[in-house]
């Protein structure tokens, strides 16, 4: 086929159309490139600080800005780390990134307290948006991780093992997420959450803190929740501790409560631990509520606990150490089997606690199953 020759004006129109189309393609490519390869201007300052064994994690943390990541290569680091800058991520390249105590006693702050990682805000101003992930903290005479006055802290896939006090501890912290961590062989609780570690005051609203899918074993207590409200403890696996889950209150107002303990596997927590300043000797305790109110304990599997303590048994309601009763708690739809002296124990004076649709064989008093 023969096409008629174009006039000069027609040829110019075609050229202009091609230039316009090419410019459009260049603009589109630039936008796609920004989405796929280059960081947008707002995120351009976010950096990854890679630390190798023998180098200082603390120096990298101190130089990091909000939004930065401090990434630890696999290996062992002998130091304590304090984080006070918001929105920093401290992450290992797998749990083979191991933080252990320094070989000398020099240090201050977190190290002086003999702890591994400290995320530290103040009562007046919390530190927000910090993430700890995929690393191991072990061998500290204090605790593996201690977070004080934080907001939206996330701790995930962290192993805290063989620390003298707590594996992972939070105080004065809100909207926290503790997920898929391992806490093993620590001197007190594997996971410890409190309004304040030392001060005597009413329970704090955690604003929907979540503790879920953690594996907690061979500690004094698996998970301790002390003087807190509005949080969820769900889908955790606890075994080999002296006690599984303790929710602890006292005479302070507001009371510990308005929280949920659900869908946890709590089995064979029969290790024996001596009494402490706050609790008597512990052995064979599954889920214990003491001095609490308005707690839902639902759909848990609590199995094979045995001991002679007054806190021994499957699910136990017991007045607090200062005599404060449990009130308006609901124990429903739990599978509670093989526990001694009983599967369900209500050793409290209040008449407002309810036990419904639980699968069990023995209770104190009788009639709760």
Predicted pLDDT at 23: 40
Q: Where are the alpha helices (DSSP H) in the chain?
A: 8-36, 57-63
3-state secondary structure at position 20: helix
Tokens describing residue 275: 């009494």
> Could you report the per-residue pLDDT of 77-126, keeping only the tens digit for each?
999 999 999 999 999 997 799 999 998 766 667 878 899 999 999 989 99
- Kindly report the average pLDDT of the chain as a whole number: 88
C-alpha 231/C-alpha 211 separation (Å) is 8
Token pair 């410019």 is found at 23
Check whether 209 has a pLDDT greater than 60.
yes
Compute the residue count for the chain.
369
Beta bridge partners of 147: 119, 170
Tokens describing residue 361: 């064989």
C-alpha 158/C-alpha 91 separation (Å) is 9
The half-sphere exposure of 208 on its side-chain side, counting CA atoms within 13 A, is 1
Tokens describing residue 160: 């805290």
**What is 222-246 written as a DSSP string?**
EEEEESEEEEEEES-EEESSSEEEE
Give the residue extent of every domain in the chain: 80-364
- What topology does CATH give the domain 80-364? Pectate Lyase C-like (2.160.20)
Terminal-residue alpha carbon distance, the chain: 93
Predicted pLDDT at 44: 54
């Amino acid at each position: 086929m023969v096409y008629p020759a174009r006039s000069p004006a027609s040829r110019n129109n075609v050229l202009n159309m091609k230039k316009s189309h090419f410019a459009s393609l260049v603009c589109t490519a630039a936008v796609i490139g920004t989405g796929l390869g280059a960081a947008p201007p707002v995120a351009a300052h976010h950096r990854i600080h890679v630390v190798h064994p023998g180098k200082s994690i603390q120096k990298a943390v101190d130089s990091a800005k909000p939004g930065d990541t401090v990434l630890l290569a696999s290996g062992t680091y002998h130091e304590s780390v304090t984080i006070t800058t918001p929105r920093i991520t401290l992450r290992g390249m797998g749990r083979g990134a191991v933080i252990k105590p320094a070989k000398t006693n020099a240090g201050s702050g977190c190290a002086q307290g003999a702890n591994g990682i400290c995320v530290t805000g103040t009562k007046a101003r919390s530190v927000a948006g910090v993430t700890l992930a995929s690393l191991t903290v072990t061998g500290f005479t204090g605790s593996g991780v201690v977070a004080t006055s934080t907001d939206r802290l996330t701790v995930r896939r962290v192993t805290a093992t063989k620390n003298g006090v707590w594996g992972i501890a939070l105080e004065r912290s809100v909207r926290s997420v503790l997920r898929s961590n391992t806490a093993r062989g620590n001197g007190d609780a594997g996971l410890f959450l409190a309004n304040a570690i030392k001060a005597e005051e009413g329970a704090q609203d955690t604003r929907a803190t979540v503790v879920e899918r953690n594996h907690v074993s061979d500690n004094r207590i698996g998970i301790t929740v002390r003087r807190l409200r509005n949080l969820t403890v769900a889908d955790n696996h606890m075994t080999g501790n002296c006690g599984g889950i303790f929710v602890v209150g006292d005479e302070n107002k507001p009371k510990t409560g308005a929280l949920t303990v659900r869908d946890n596997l709590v089995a064979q927590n029969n290790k024996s631990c001596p009494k402490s300043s706050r609790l008597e000797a512990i052995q064979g305790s599954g889920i214990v509520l003491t001095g609490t109110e308005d707690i839902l304990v639902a759909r848990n599997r609590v199995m094979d606990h045995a001991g002679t303590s007054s806190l021994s048994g499957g699910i136990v309601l017991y007045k607090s150490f200062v005599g404060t009763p449990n009130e308006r708690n609901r124990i429903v739809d739990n599978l509670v089997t093989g526990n001694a002296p009983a599967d369900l124990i209500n050793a409290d004076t209040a008449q407002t606690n309810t036990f419904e649709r639980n699968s069990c064989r023995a209770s104190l008093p009788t009639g709760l199953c």
